[in-house]
Amino acid sequence: MKNSKKILGIFIVSLVVVTGGVLGLVYQKRLNLNLSNNPISSFFARLTKPVVIQNNTVTVVDEESAVISAVTKVSPAVVSVVTQSTSFDPFSGQQSSGTQGIGTGFIVRSDGVILTNKHVVADPNVAYTVVLKDKTSYPVKKVFLDPSNDLAIIKIDATNLPTVELGDSSKLKVGQGVIAIGNALGRFDNTVTKGVVSALGRGITAGSGNPFDQTTENLADVIQTDASMNPGNSGGPLVNLSGQVIGIDSAVSGGAQGIGFALPINSAKPVISSFEATGRIVRPYMGVVYELVTPDLTTFTRLPVGALVRSAVAGSPAEKAGIKPGDVILSISGEKIDENTTLVNAILKHQVGETVPVVIDRSGAKLTLQVTLVEIPAK
């Protein structure tokens, strides 16, 4: 008797489930409903898909498809920067030559204009070669270095090359998905890694990675990401899920994993524009040697936050305007100088020949001086 009741109960439950399903399908068909547009179904679907923020528009995307699409779009324009290397075999006593990968770049103009890091191509005594994804190689004809940032333009003789699309790094959000493409370790070209924007507006001191080269460079307002980077990635593109370049991979943290840094692409746009207009990189120049006074230092120095002038270069716009050692530059054209906006970055927002108001603190008194920027002198 108990088994009969149990079987009857299972039969009734099954009948209810099947009947409910059939009625649901009939109801959906009769009302011409689309479950994918159902608010509840749509809500749960959105929970499993990431969001891309572009031009103040929120778009839900399938992450895997978006990554594949972005890589397919960008990678043909990503190049490896290599140089000739010579090795000695102690057993045979013979020398052999070959190429050694040292960095990455990406094509910004179809006639062979390529953007990369300054530290990738900074040696004037080295002959550089660019290798495309299809293994076609071109000798680098000319190198143009940005004197105020870790950026460079290299030129090859080619036409009809694939190019990247530049995005807007000012619209980046922490947590946004990004992709790094580069010549990892100088051996594995077009390596793809993905991660998120970990932080924005970082300030770092970066070295070249060469143990014999002890020079360093202060980089401000950089993008921090956990997209894996390795030596050789330098100069490669950091890409959003729409396939737009939003950064230039520039540095990795030697003391940690999963921490990489990229220069925002907006800082490179004036470099590209300058090159297109003049055939070289033109940057504005004020002419001061300074040290940043942070909020922590104000406690001990009693100085305001800003750029403490150590010296004004003789004959420079700063000296001509009356800036002296000991002055603290507080702002340029109303933009405050602090950890988020360095003096260099503030100057780079202006043009050569432009006269800008500079507010300084001199022994507690505020003064406004007019400084006319000139082109940065060639070294």
Catalytically annotated residue among 75, 119, 249, 327? 119
370 and 355 Cβ atoms separated by less than 8 Å: yes
234 is catalytic: yes
Choice among 148, 198, 234, 250 that is catalytic: 234
The full DSSP string for 30-43 is HTT--GGG-HHHHH
The full DSSP string for 292-342 is EE-HHHHHHH-PPSEEEEEEE-TTSHHHHHT--TT-EEEEETTEEPSSSS-
Main-chain phi, psi angles of 302, to 5 degrees: 60, 20
Tokens of 312: 């004004």
Spatial contact of 86 and 97, defined as CB atoms under 8 Å apart: yes
Whose CA is closest to 329, among 348, 315, 344?
A: 344
The first and second tokens of residue 121, run together, are 């191509």
Residue given tokens 């899920």 in the structure block? 241
Number of residues in the chain:
379
Catalytic, out of 75, 80, 150, 249: 150
119 is catalytic: yes
Catalytically annotated residues:
119, 150, 234
